[in-house]
Chain A
Amino acid sequence: MKKYAFYLILLLLAVAFPFYIDGYLLHVFLTIFIFMTMALSWDMMLRTGQLSFANAGFFGMGGYVSMVTVSSLEIDPLLSLIFAVVFAAAVAFILGLPVLKLRGIYFAIVTLALAHVFEVIAMNLEITGGSTGMVLPEAIFGGDMQLLYWLVLGMALLTIGISEFFARSRMHYAMHSIRNDELTAQASGINVSRTLIIVFVTSSALQGLAGAIYVQQYAFVLPESTFSLDYLLLPIAMALVGGTLSTAGPVVGAIFLGLISEYLRLIMPYGHLLIYGLVIAVIILFMPGGIYKPVRNIILNRILNLGGAS
């Protein structure tokens, strides 16, 4: 019970954040929740053993679909998020059918190439504004940071919910069996291709949503920045630092690295990325399982006095 009370307090704190912190810190957490969604959705795919590099591609695609639908259909930005999610899911389904037949390094490299293809398409279409991108007259919710924060928090909670559903249902056994040994999985009656496509479509849809919300925050897209490698590499670093193959790991990793990077930026305007990279490298070298478990044990044992954590 104590554990659930702890989570409930965290949740209430997160929901009430806009009432007691200033705009700057709110913006920091907003970004953290967007990256948390990216990290967790990437981890879902990893649980099936597939190393996907398509996240930045679906992130950018979601952003572009959202911008294009708002500007050409003149719909509310909030409604455009649905288009972004559906579009990303549909593309993931269609591309997933052939691409998910690939394994290991071949799957990884093809997903990386796909992400680049999306960028090239965005850069060359007229409707997406070509290489100069697009600008909308107004950000989502008319620029209201509080509403935007709750929207982003909702997305992060949805992602956590889906991740926990995957972790507690039959999907858990299917996903991890496929990663462990695909032949055994098949021989045990697991439909490998269906499992992979469900996870790929789900994670791509979440990445599309994250991109759409991110872009609507600034009401602006540009091919090289919307499809930036940051949206690929940072979420992966967050998942690795927090601990992969779980919900808690990427969540903790996103908060930890998000706060560290912001703090470093404040105390050293130049060269902060150097330290940031060093932190990531050191953690991955010396705590290959991520920081979540050690941190959890400290919280459970020392602070909550629950004891008996593994």
Chain B
Amino acid sequence: MDSVLKAEKITKEFGGLTAVDNITFSADKGEILGIIGPNGAGKTTVINVISGILPLTGGNITLKERQISDMPPHDRSRLGISRTFQTVRPLEKFTAMENIMVGALFGRELTKNKARERAESICDFLNLDRTDAHVDNLTVLELKKLELGRAMASEPEILFLDEVMAGLNSSETNEMIELIRKIKDRGVAVCVVEHVMKVVSELTDRVIVLDRGEIIARGRYEEVSKKEEVIAAYLGEEEENAED
């Protein structure tokens, strides 16, 4: 398999807290990798250090053999790392179309006309109809699609999706699953952080399980979900929740 992204021994510390502890993984072209684990396991932090929003404390990240650990986020975006945010962060000044255009304008340095064409074809692909609507007027599903569209507009090598299913009903979830599969088929490495286990089992080719910043298991979801340490990590979470 073609490894698009390699994270080697990456570590992120916040003061005394180690949010990501010396983890190594890679993502391949045309596969969907799941990152799962209980709340606070460090899943979003992994995305943040790879997309460059947070600096690494230690370790190495390479994109197609190219060292990117010290690059600012906008350069990583141009090289092919795209992401969505857990809580959607649309650009409120702009329409849905313009939001997606921004990704093409800067992620791919297209001209305005080219970026608009690209944004239109992405809206078609996503089935996003109300392209001239202002962000305030969009539904949750439309906002999620917009977030996905903006991330796709830069034609990424690897796309990180941080809980895109959160807040969607089951038919919307199915629509989103189909979309993500189609994106994968375009030759993009897709990496999903997901809480809904049904989605993880349907969508992912393989998963890594994080707990307290460390990888405690990796492999196909069906196998991993039966492992004792994985069950314990999730059960532990439930016990802690029960105490609240």
Q: How many residues of B contact A (CB 8 A)?
A: 31
| Chain A residue, CB-CB nearest to B48 | A183
Within 8 A of B (CB), among A164-190: 169-170, 173-174, 176-177, 179-181, 183-190
In whole angstroms, how far apart are the Cα atoms of A219 and B77 in the complex?
52
- The answer to whether the Cβ of B82 comes within 8 Å of any Cβ in the partner chain is yes
For residue B105, which residues in chain A have a CB less than 8 angstroms away from its CB? 170, 173
Proximity bits, B211-238, A CB within 8 Å = 1, else 0: 0000000000000000000000000000
For residue A177, which residues in chain B have a CB less than 8 angstroms away from its CB? 91, 93-94, 102
- The answer to whether the Cβ of B103 comes within 8 Å of any Cβ in the partner chain is yes
**Contacts A170-B112, A173-B105: A188 and B150 contacting too (C-beta < 8 A)?**
yes
- The answer to whether the Cβ of A192 comes within 8 Å of any Cβ in the partner chain is yes
Of A173, A174, A181, A189, which is in contact with the most chain B CB atoms at under 10 Å from its CB?
A189
For residue B94, which residues in chain A have a CB less than 8 angstroms away from its CB? 173, 176-177, 180
Instruction: Give the Cβ gap from A233 to chain B, nearest Cβ, in Å.
Output: 26
- The answer to whether the Cβ of A301 comes within 8 Å of any Cβ in the partner chain is no
Q: By the criterion CB–CB under 8 Å, are B106 and A190 in contact?
A: yes
- The answer to whether the Cβ of A124 comes within 8 Å of any Cβ in the partner chain is no
Q: By the criterion CB–CB under 8 Å, are B74 and A189 in contact?
A: yes
Instruction: Give the Cβ gap from B238 to chain A, nearest Cβ, in Å.
Output: 32
In whole angstroms, how far apart are the Cα atoms of A179 and B52 in the complex?
20
- The answer to whether the Cβ of B9 comes within 8 Å of any Cβ in the partner chain is no
Instruction: Give the Cβ gap from B64 to chain A, nearest Cβ, in Å.
Output: 17
Q: By the criterion CB–CB under 8 Å, are A189 and B112 in contact?
A: no
Instruction: Give the Cβ gap from B77 to chain A, nearest Cβ, in Å.
Output: 4
Within 8 A of B (CB), among A54-98: none
Q: By the criterion CB–CB under 8 Å, are B98 and A187 in contact?
A: no
- The answer to whether the Cβ of A191 comes within 8 Å of any Cβ in the partner chain is yes
Of A174, A179, A181, A188, which is in contact with the most chain B CB atoms at under 10 Å from its CB?
A188
16 new A-B contacts, CB < 8 A, other than A174-B106, A187-B53, are A173-B94, A177-B94, A181-B90, A181-B91, A183-B89, A184-B150, A185-B91, A186-B73, A187-B82, A188-B102, A188-B103, A188-B153, A189-B103, A189-B106, A189-B109, A191-B74
- A-B contact list, 20 entries, CB within 8 Å: A173-B94, A173-B98, A174-B106, A176-B93, A176-B94, A183-B53, A183-B89, A184-B89, A185-B102, A186-B52, A186-B77, A187-B51, A187-B77, A187-B83, A187-B151, A188-B74, A189-B78, A190-B106, A191-B72, A191-B74
B residues with a Cβ closer than 8 A to A are: 51-53, 72-74, 77-78, 82-83, 85, 89-94, 98, 101-103, 105-109, 112, 150-151, 153-154
